[in-house]
Chain A
Amino acid sequence: MRSFRSQQDPECGIVTTGIPGQIEELNLDPSAPILPVQRTGRESISRFLRSETGKGWLTISPPLLYAMLLLIGPIIVIVANSFWSQDYLTIDRTFTLENYRAALTEPIYRDLLMRSLFISVTVAFVTVVLAYPIAWFVSFYGGRYKGLWLFIITVPFWSGYLLRILSWKVILGYKGVLNTGLMHLGVITEPLSSLIYNVNAVIITLAHSWAAFAILPLFVSLEKLDRSLLEAAADLGDGPVRRFLRITLPLTIPGIIAALMIVMIPTVGDYVTPKLVGGKDGVMIANAIQVQFGRASNWPLGAALAVSTMIIVSLVAGTIVLALAGLKRLLK
């Protein structure tokens, strides 16, 4: 093996022409150093650019560049602001942690943040629980109408975001569709005032607004599920419920995580829905941030609130992802 290698590999220091008697350069000294191939910097850069990885980076660099600029830029501005302070219209650029102290210890902000997290996590789970059966139905029973079903699901999104929220006002309002309908049926004698201007109204409206965003990733992960796995599970004795819990659910966890995150993360920062249907009990942290950047004119405090929210949301999101990944291991 050794001799075979040395004839094959010129870097071993032995170069033969393969014809006996015509060995041009023979170095049999085993201690002879193996000369490393010297490459210039320019050579290695051009080599990198010609490699698959290099080509990949080259292809994505223009969008990557502007995405980074547009993403990182504002974040830097916000983070920088959060360590400054403002006196009416002038920004004092001396480093201070006062904004964070206020953001994290003032009861009003703490309550708003907790409520926002509660609302967004609840909305995410409610949306996913409601969206899963729809995605499941379309994927398993959509047949050749799958495309049509997905199209129908996106139809509400043709109207504006505000219109969707306002339509919930029409449904849930004091003299709204639900109240008048229930009164007409004789279920209630006077309109319920508990339907709108509270946390529940915010949750219902947001869950509806984000439904399609949850259905699509769930649909994709259900589509990817190999149907023969379900047949195999049936063959091995599992009825429909066990098949769902042991095969469908664990294998669609990635879709569930994606749907939860897609819904949860943006809803924390929503301030239009709470403003329109939340009343005073439905105010969320984003409303407070908006006020700081607007009427209260305290950008640094607003920035500190935004950064704190961002970090806490990331932590909550991470915890949910880890918990679901753990759940996947448990479902066997």
Chain B
Amino acid sequence: MTTSPMIEIRNVDKNFGTFRALDTLNATIGEGEFFSLLGPSGCGKTTLLRMIGGFDDPSSGEILIGGRSMAGIPPNLRPTNMVFQSYAIFPHLNVAENIAYGLKRLRLGRAEEEKRVKEALDQVELSELGPRMGNQLSGGQRQRVALARALVMRPKVLLLDEPLSALDKNLREQMQVELRHLQRQIGITFVLVTHDQYEALSMSDRIAVMFGGQIAQIAEPKEIYQNPATRQVADFLGGMNFLTSSHLSVNGKNFAATLPGIGDITGHLAGKTISDPAKAIIGIRPERLRIVWEGETADPIVTGKVADRNYFGEVTSLAVNIEGQNQHLSIVETNDFGADDIPVGSDIRITYDRDAFIVMQG
């Protein structure tokens, strides 16, 4: 993202009593960017979002929106609108009145107001539901009304606090596509809070992964997945085989290591600096390992025994004990060639892409 910055987060701390909820956060979110805050519950992502919206104040540091400091500015005067996790649909108003809620104050005149409400209803495909009362809606409908109610205000920034977590899986996936589509169409900045790594990966332009009140990594989804900065990030986004090596050496932009039972490997540092090679850890994604079937040849080859097998429909996950080592490797293989029929306890041969190893600071 090379657009001008919309939100700047500068050295933001937040203390609740003696508990440090956010610790010196720095981030810049671009105009028109779909930015996600991803992390486990309690990592401070919602607190940060609420600070951008003005519902919490930083203990120190500042937040700028559109170049203006937001210190002391209440939510009603900020150029942001929020989709709340609970949706916060006004139960005493109908859908159209809910959406028109914020417009009333703008005194647009009845015709303009009705036009905007109708546009918003069309945008979220709820045109028929205008007269329905706020407390008579399904989860998906509530989510759409909350979205329309925020978008109708034409904010510079839309804040979304786990907007899809209350929906069932199919509806959630459908809404992910729709939200992404909507964001591209209207072109405003979206800041999404989520604990669902697939949601973050599929929707975002960039992701900030947070742990314990700190940002562990900010990068594009592909970078986050392929080149996680720390062991925690790698662990949180998908599966990862973590391997330790006593002989790790860094050489310019590359590293080399000897892995017991696997052999000598090399890889790119990919922009990382490994300050303490003794504490560094090497990783490989389970899907970068492949089974070498009988009759096939491959180089390199690792041999082992199948210790466990888990069936997931389109793929099967195997845990493999490397021969002569106390080391498990997890493999994910599509079921096209019968990975789901490999018996537990059988011998297995594995190969890997030579460039698939990454190194992380532990």
- Chain A interface (Cβ < 8 Å from any Cβ of B): 226, 228-229, 231-239, 242, 246-247, 250-251, 328, 332
Q: In the bound complex, how far is the Cα of B81 from the Cα of A228, in angstroms?
A: 14
Q: In the bound complex, how far is the Cα of B153 from the Cα of A250, in angstroms?
A: 23
B163 contacts A by Cβ under 8 Å: no
Contact A235 B81 (CB under 8 A): yes
Q: Of B55, B86, B102, which is within 8 A of A236 by CB?
A: B102
Contact A231 B92 (CB under 8 A): no
Please name all residues of chain A whose beta carbon is closer than 8 Å to the beta carbon of B77 when the two chains form the complex: 237
B343 contacts A by Cβ under 8 Å: no
In angstroms, how far is the closest chain A Cβ from the Cβ of B141? Answer: 16
Please name all residues of chain A whose beta carbon is closer than 8 Å to the beta carbon of B54 when the two chains form the complex: 234
Contact B90 A235 (CB under 8 A): no
Q: In the bound complex, how far is the Cα of B93 from the Cα of A328, in angstroms?
A: 10
Q: In the bound complex, how far is the Cα of B292 from the Cα of A316, in angstroms?
A: 87
Can you offer 10 A-B residue contacts whose CB atoms are under 8 A? A228-B84, A231-B82, A231-B88, A232-B84, A232-B90, A232-B149, A234-B76, A236-B153, A237-B76, A237-B102
Please name all residues of chain B whose beta carbon is closer than 8 Å to the beta carbon of A328 when the two chains form the complex: 92
B104 contacts A by Cβ under 8 Å: yes
Q: In the bound complex, how far is the Cα of B76 from the Cα of A237, in angstroms?
A: 4
Q: In the bound complex, how far is the Cα of B80 from the Cα of A232, in angstroms?
A: 12
Contact A236 B97 (CB under 8 A): no
Q: Of B86, B97, B106, which is within 8 A of A226 by CB?
A: B86
B105 contacts A by Cβ under 8 Å: yes
Q: In the bound complex, how far is the Cα of B153 from the Cα of A277, in angstroms?
A: 57
Contacts A237-B105, A332-B104 given; does A228 touch B76 at CB 8 Å: no
Q: In the bound complex, how far is the Cα of B80 from the Cα of A239, in angstroms?
A: 15
B91 contacts A by Cβ under 8 Å: yes
Q: In the bound complex, how far is the Cα of B361 from the Cα of A70, in angstroms?
A: 79
In angstroms, how far is the closest chain B Cβ from the Cβ of A226? Answer: 7
Max chain A C-beta neighbours (<10 A), residue from B76, B81, B86: B76
Contacting A at CB under 8 A, from B95-115, are: 97, 101-102, 104-106
In angstroms, how far is the closest chain B Cβ from the Cβ of A48? Answer: 31
| Chain A contact residues: helix, strand, loop or mixed | helix
Q: In the bound complex, how far is the Cα of B74 from the Cα of A2, in angstroms?
A: 62
Contact A229 B88 (CB under 8 A): yes
Contact B149 A236 (CB under 8 A): yes
Contact B104 A235 (CB under 8 A): no
> Sorted from nearest, which 7 A-B pairs have the closest CB atoms?
A236-B102, A232-B88, A228-B88, A234-B75, A237-B76, A235-B82, A237-B105
Contact B101 A233 (CB under 8 A): yes
Contact B105 A231 (CB under 8 A): no
Contacts A247-B90, A332-B104 given; does A235 touch B75 at CB 8 Å: yes
Contacts A247-B90, A332-B104 given; does A231 touch B76 at CB 8 Å: no
Query: Other than the known A231-B88, A235-B82, A237-B153, what 5 A-B pairs have Cβ atoms closer than 8 Å?
Result: A226-B88, A234-B74, A235-B53, A235-B80, A250-B92
Q: In the bound complex, how far is the Cα of B186 from the Cα of A83, in angstroms?
A: 76
Q: In the bound complex, how far is the Cα of B97 from the Cα of A233, in angstroms?
A: 13
Contacting A at CB under 8 A, from B50-88, are: 53-55, 74-77, 80-82, 84, 86, 88
Please name all residues of chain A whose beta carbon is closer than 8 Å to the beta carbon of B106 when the two chains form the complex: 237
Q: In the bound complex, how far is the Cα of B97 from the Cα of A328, in angstroms?
A: 14
Contacts A231-B55, A232-B82 given; does A239 touch B90 at CB 8 Å: no
Please name all residues of chain B whose beta carbon is closer than 8 Å to the beta carbon of A250 when the two chains form the complex: 92
Q: In the bound complex, how far is the Cα of B153 from the Cα of A239, in angstroms?
A: 16
Q: In the bound complex, how far is the Cα of B153 from the Cα of A233, in angstroms?
A: 12
In angstroms, how far is the closest chain A Cβ from the Cβ of B105? Answer: 5
Contact B93 A332 (CB under 8 A): yes
In angstroms, how far is the closest chain A Cβ from the Cβ of B146? Answer: 8
Contacts A231-B55, A332-B93 given; does A239 touch B76 at CB 8 Å: yes
Max chain B C-beta neighbours (<10 A), residue from A226, A228, A250, A251: A228
Please name all residues of chain A whose beta carbon is closer than 8 Å to the beta carbon of B86 when the two chains form the complex: 226, 228
Please name all residues of chain A whose beta carbon is closer than 8 Å to the beta carbon of B149 when the two chains form the complex: 232, 236
Please name all residues of chain A whose beta carbon is closer than 8 Å to the beta carbon of B84 when the two chains form the complex: 228, 231-232
Contact A236 B81 (CB under 8 A): yes
Q: In the bound complex, how far is the Cα of B86 from the Cα of A226, in angstroms?
A: 10
Please name all residues of chain A whose beta carbon is closer than 8 Å to the beta carbon of B90 when the two chains form the complex: 229, 232-233, 247
In angstroms, how far is the closest chain B Cβ from the Cβ of A22? Answer: 39
Contacting A at CB under 8 A, from B303-361, are: none
Please name all residues of chain B whose beta carbon is closer than 8 Å to the beta carbon of A232 when the two chains form the complex: 82, 84, 88, 90, 149
